[in-house]
Amino acid sequence: MHLDLSANDVLTTTRSVRKRLDLDRPVERAIIKECLEIALQAPTGSNKQGWKFVMVEDAKKKQALADIYARNFRKYAELAASNEYQPGDPRYDQKDKVTSSAVHLVENFHRVPMMMIPCIAGQLDRAPTFQAASAWGSILPAVWSFMLALRERAMGSAWTTIHLMDGGDAEAAEILGIPHGQITQAGLFPIGYTVGTDFRVADRLPLDSVLHWDEW
């Protein structure tokens, strides 16, 4: 299924999807491979193409990853509670909705039809800035392209990183056979068809509040 959205519509209405993932509809491998073929056309530093994509369908492995995520989410929620936005800031108005969506994912992560952990070659936690920037710049565009491709096919995902906290990346690596210390995980993505396709442009901070010309 293709939605035949314009490029602008795909770029501006691809949302983080949590509550509206269809937890009961299977996800076909063939469609995921289509989306990954698109992802492989993304920029890659020095043409290294050091990306890897670990797709998880096994129920026990999904449960184990969801357990890591839930454990770390409790720690993360305490930190996030300190983020105080002021009335009039769109983030203030969206906070309760975002929190509710995040909790829903925690409670249902194990039920998603498929998960993905995108990876990049190298261990980046102590890498020089230029090396880390190059590496992240070689996986982030690919994953975003993957998410855009999902959107066009009436599917969705959400970029989460909470499982990486406090040694969770090492636990996930052991579960999935990822060579920890040689490979960096870039996130944990729930994947599924969406319940409805009527996603809208998000309310963001004004452009002028984040734009600088020639100097900070």
Report if residue 201 sits inside a domain. Answer: no
pLDDT of the residue at 80: 67
Q: Which of 154, 180, 169, 210 is nearest to 72 (CA)?
A: 169
Report if residue 10 sits inside a domain. Answer: no
Report if residue 49 sits inside a domain. Answer: yes
pTM for this prediction: 0.93
Report if residue 139 sits inside a domain. Answer: yes
Report if residue 175 sits inside a domain. Answer: yes
Report if residue 173 sits inside a domain. Answer: yes
Domain tally for the chain? 1
Report if residue 72 sits inside a domain. Answer: yes
Mean pLDDT of all residues in the chain?
94
pLDDT of the residue at 82: 63
Are residues 171 and 24 in contact, defined by beta-carbon separation less than 8 angstroms? no
**How does strand 183-185 pair with strand 114-121?**
antiparallel
Task: State pLDDT tens for residues 148-179.
Answer: 999 999 999 999 999 999 999 999 999 999 99
Are residues 118 and 189 in contact, defined by beta-carbon separation less than 8 angstroms? yes
Report if residue 206 sits inside a domain. Answer: no
Domain that holds residue 190: 25-196
The CATH number assigned to the domain holding 136 equals: 3.40.109.10
- Euclidean distance between CA atoms 8 and 5, whole angstroms: 8
pLDDT of the residue at 95: 75
Task: Please give the DSSP secondary-structure letter assigned to residue 111.
Answer: G
The alpha helices in 40-125, defined as continuous H runs, are: 59-80, 90-108
pLDDT of the residue at 209: 94
pLDDT below 70 — which residues of the chain? 80-83, 92-93
